[in-house]
Amino acid sequence: MNYKHAYHAGNFADVAKHILLVQLLNQMSTKGKPFYALDAYGGRGLYSLSSEEARKTGEAKAGVQRILDADISEAPDAVRQYVDDIKQARQTYDRHVYPGSPWWIANHVQQNPEVNVRAEAFEFKNTEYDALNYQLYQLPIGIHNRDAFEGIPAVIPPVERRGIILIDPPYEQEHKDFTRLVELLVATMTKWPQGVYALWFPIKNIEAVELFYKKMKRTGIRKQLLCELNIYPNDVAVGLNGTGMLIINPPWKFDQHAREILNFIQPLMRPEDAPELPQSQAVSVRWLVGE
């Protein structure tokens, strides 16, 4: 995938990832106790859907725009909140903005001051870090020019004891990246076994994805939940067939909420030229490893 997320901002994978992130943060906050939230790959924080990159791919038209145009009166709460928050962001910045993951975390912190969430974002690439630091400097999130593989082990366990780490790298070399991520998760779980880890990944090379699943099963880590949304069958050669999140230690009943969210948004995200998928292939929320 192209490292510059500006080409993909607001696509169907972003929609799924950010709505699930909203759901995770909301459930983390229900206890009313402080927690730590880290976005390990912050990107630039805000993206313009009128940029040359976004207009070149047009991916947002088949992603966030479809959610904004849809009737969401019967949608899960996290979907409705996602739409409301995007509208708020566009009133604050401009009507073409799409917020990246650090904004969603910072926005949650701002909306829930009584919970006392300490938020941070890492970005290693200098140009992206500069943009992230400039665009989100007024929001309640610490911005650091730091590599995720070095930074995550260094900041855990957090003083709050509770927390969530979002890991969504660009996957420029899938097989290599998946292997490194498995090793990272094993190391972090050793240091902070009660943390919530949300790992986003693309579904395009099914062999790489299935090998990743096998490796995660072998780690001995418990409570691994898989959330998958597919818009094309695996045997169709397109840029991105689907999107997934592996969530370790998800909050209670998160799997039910995730299933409702993905079942609602999948029909909206499916391209007109895509073959219709059986529901079991279009959306899958299942335990890779249970308790």
Tokens of 188: 């972090």
Q: Which of 18, 9, 16, 89 is nearest to 43 (CA)?
A: 9
Q: Is 168 a catalytic residue?
A: yes
Domain that holds residue 181: 5-289
CATH number at residue 11: 3.40.50.150
Binding residues, as ranges, are 18, 41, 101, 123, 147-148, 168
Q: How confident is the model at residue 1 (pLDDT cuts 50, 70, 90)?
A: very low
Asked whether 227 and 245 are in contact (CB, 8 A), the reply is yes
Average confidence score pLDDT of the chain: 95
Asked whether 216 and 222 are in contact (CB, 8 A), the reply is no
Determine the average pLDDT of the residues in 165-190.
Answer: 94
Provide DSSP, 68-101: HHS--TTS-HHHHHHHHHHHHHHHHS-TTEEE-H
Please pick, among 94, 130, 168, 235, the residue that the annotation labels catalytic: 168
Task: Fill in the DSSP letter of residue 120.
Answer: E
Asked whether 119 and 141 are in contact (CB, 8 A), the reply is yes
Binding residues for S-adenosyl-L-methionine, as ranges, are 18, 41, 101, 123, 147-148, 168
Share of the chain above pLDDT 90, in %: 88
Number of domains present in the structure of the chain: 1
Task: Fill in the DSSP letter of residue 278.
Answer: P
* pLDDT tens digits along 258-279: 999 999 999 999 988 888 898 8
Q: Is the pLDDT of residue 3 over 80?
A: no
Print burial letters for 206-232: b (CB count within 10 Å at least 16), e (below 16). eebbebbbebbeeeebeebbbbbbbbb
The residue count of the chain comes to 291
Q: How confident is the model at residue 169 (pLDDT cuts 50, 70, 90)?
A: very high
Q: How confident is the model at residue 5 (pLDDT cuts 50, 70, 90)?
A: confident
Per-residue pLDDT at 42: 97
* pLDDT tens digits along 29-43: 999 999 999 999 999
